[in-house]
Chain A
Amino acid sequence: KQEVTQIPAALSVPEGENLVLNCSFTDSAIYNLQWFRQDPGKGLTSLLLIQSSQREQTSGRLNASLDKSSGRSTLYIAASQPGDSATYLCAVMNRDDKIIFGKGTRLHILP
C-alpha cells in the first residue's frame, strides 16, 4: 500500500533563505507527483506536476525534482518570502489512478 511521508511536519526559516521540502513514497510505480500549497482555511493550489518520466519541473522560484527509483521528491524554494508561508503537500498518483497525499509540511518564513 502506497504511503507518502513529508518530513519535517513544520519548518521555520528566515526570509531570503533557500529551502528544500521533502516528500518520500514507498511504491515507486507511480504515474506522477504533484506539489500543492494550502493557506490556512483554504483549498489546495496546484504548484507543480511532475510526470514519472520527468526528473524536474520549474515555475518561478520553485523547482520540484523527482527520483522515482529512490521514492523521493523535493520542492526547492529560492529566496524565500513571508508570502511563501503556507502548508505544502505532495501527492502521488499510483498506477491504479489513486491519488495519495502526504500530511504536509507547515512552512513559516520569518520576516
Chain B
Amino acid sequence: DVKVTQSSRYLVKRTGEKVFLECVQDMDHENMFWYRQDPGLGLRLIYFSYDVKMKEKGDIPEGYSVSREKKERFSLILESASTNQTSMYLCASKSRGRNEQYFGPGTRLTVT
C-alpha cells in the first residue's frame, strides 16, 4: 500500500510566521505535489516536483516555496504566513507516467 504522510493534521500559526509543511511518501515515487483546497474553489495546485531538487510552479505559487532534497520528502514553505493562506493543504505523489495519484491525510492550517 502506498503511504503518503503529512507532518501535522492541524496547525495554528500567526501572521508573519514562517511555516513548514512536510510530506513523506514511501513508494519511491518520482512526482510529488502540493495542493490547497478551499470551499467553492476545489483543489488548486501550488507546486510540484518531478525529481529530487526539481520544482515547477503550479497555478497559485505566490507566497509559497518548496524544497525537495530527498526523493521521499517534499516540503512546502510559507515564508511569511498571511490570513488568506488559511486552508486545507494536501500533498500527493505518483510514479512517473500515466499512473494513479495518492494523497496524504491533509493539514488544516489556520493563520490568525
Q: Are B101 and A41 in contact (CB under 8 A)?
A: no
Q: Are A42 and B101 in contact (CB under 8 A)?
A: no
**Interface flags, A53-66, vs B, CB<8A=1, else 0:** 00000000000000
Task: Pick the residue among A41, A45, A51 that contacts B98 (CB under 8 A).
Answer: A51
Number of A-B contacts (CB under 8 A): 42
Chain A residues near B106: list those with CB within 8 A: 41-43
Nearest CB of chain B from residue A52's CB, rounded to whole Å: 8
- Are A34 and B100 also in contact (CB < 8 A) when A43-B90, A102-B42 are? yes
Q: Are A93 and B42 in contact (CB under 8 A)?
A: no
- Are A46 and B42 also in contact (CB < 8 A) when A41-B106, A41-B108 are? no
Nearest CB of chain A from residue B81's CB, rounded to whole Å: 21
Q: A32-B98, A34-B101, A103-B41 are in contact. List 19 more A-B contacts (CB 8 A).
A: A34-B100, A36-B103, A41-B88, A41-B108, A43-B104, A43-B105, A44-B90, A44-B92, A45-B103, A46-B100, A46-B101, A46-B102, A49-B99, A51-B98, A89-B43, A99-B101, A101-B43, A103-B40, A103-B42
